[in-house]
Structures are given as C-alpha cells and as structure tokens.
Amino acid sequence: MLEIYNDIIQKRGKLADAHKIQSLRPESITRHMDLYLEIMFSKSDLSRADREMMALIVSASNKCKYCISHHSEAVNHYWKNSDRTNFLVTEFNKAELNNRQVDLCRFAAQLTLHPAGFEEDYETNMLKDAGLTDSAILDATLVVAYFNFVNRIVLALDVEFSKEEISGYNY
C-alpha cells in the first residue's frame, strides 16, 4: 500500500482522501489513478482548464462538496479569478465564459443531471457547432462520466474535505 501511495504522491504531489478511501482495495486505487491521469492529463483538444471546469460543473450538479472544493482550487489555478470560479458552482452563465466554454458546461450539466433524456444529436451537434472535434467530444464525455463516478464514490462513502487537503496538488 505504501508503494501505491508514494507513486500517487510522486505523480500528483499529494494523496487525496478520495484515494485513501479505497485502501481496502489497493488495486482499485492504482487503476483509478491511471484512468484519472489518462482522462485529465493526456493529449487532448480540450485544455486542462476546460477539463477541470467540466469536473467542477459535474461536481456542482451532483452537490459533491468535497469535489467542488478540489476542482474549484484546480480551476482557479488556471483562471486566477476566484469570483469567476465561484460562479461556475452557482451559475456558470455569469462566469465570463466564451461560447465554447458555455457549451462544454451545458454538456456536462445535461449529461450529469439528465442522462436518460440526453439527446446525443442535439448535444454533440452543439459542441461541433462550437468547433469541437469528435475527439474533443469523446474527451468531454469521458470527463463527465469519470467525475460522476468519482462523485458517487465520495458521496456514498461520505468523504469529507479539509482546507489543508485541497491544496498542494500538481496541476
């Protein structure tokens, strides 16, 4: 277990409580971390800031306070504007986003809140009209799906956050 934790700390700068909660299944932490790094850090037409923005929209839609705190910190790392970041949580239309970012936020919220009513043609065409490639649309879908997965783990297992825990990560 110590080797797994040290590997995560080396890659991310710190070990999150969301990973510690999986300590009874160490192999799941490793695979979870591999998936996270692939979705959030691999080469993509979506920027890291875009992916963190979408993670924050998913977390806000699910009312996952732990993940809202983490991803607010990450978005603000890129935007350097806490007021703008805070609007993502409460009303993303007020966050001074460009049209592409608004469409990504709508996509994330719609797929999170209404997956059964998701109209693929309408939603993906909206992203295509905003200039996103098929690859970027797949990446956006992976971000939304992944953070819905993580939010459910955190909410079900009642992972709590502390101010000390949300800072110090490698972005």
Q: C-alpha 140: how far from its chain's center? A: 10
Rounded to whole angstroms, the Cα distance separating 107 from 140 reads: 8
Provide the residue count of the chain.
Answer: 171
Report long-range pairs for 85-94 (Cβ below 8 Å, ≥24 apart).
85/56, 88/53, 88/56, 88/57, 88/60, 89/56, 89/60, 90/60, 92/57
Closest CA to 30 of 50, 8, 59: 8
H helices, E strands: number in the chain: 9, 0
What is the average per-residue pLDDT within 97-112? 95
pLDDT digits (tens, 9 = 90+) for 50-75: 999 999 999 999 999 989 998 999 99
Least confident of 33-42, 93-102, 127-136, 153-162: 153-162
161 neighbors 66 (Cβ within 8 angstroms): yes
Report residue 91's pLDDT band, with 50, 70 and 90 as the boundaries.
very high
**Widest Cα–Cα separation across the chain:** 47
Domains of the chain: 47-156 (1.20.1290.10)
pTM: 0.86
Question: Mean pLDDT, the chain, as a whole number?
Answer: 87
Cα–Cα distance measured from residue 44 to residue 37, given in angstroms and rounded to the nearest whole number: 12
Residue 25 and residue 32: Cα distance in Å, rounded?
11
Asked if residue 39 has pLDDT above 60, the reply is yes
CA-based torsion, 77, 83, 87, 93: positive or negative: negative
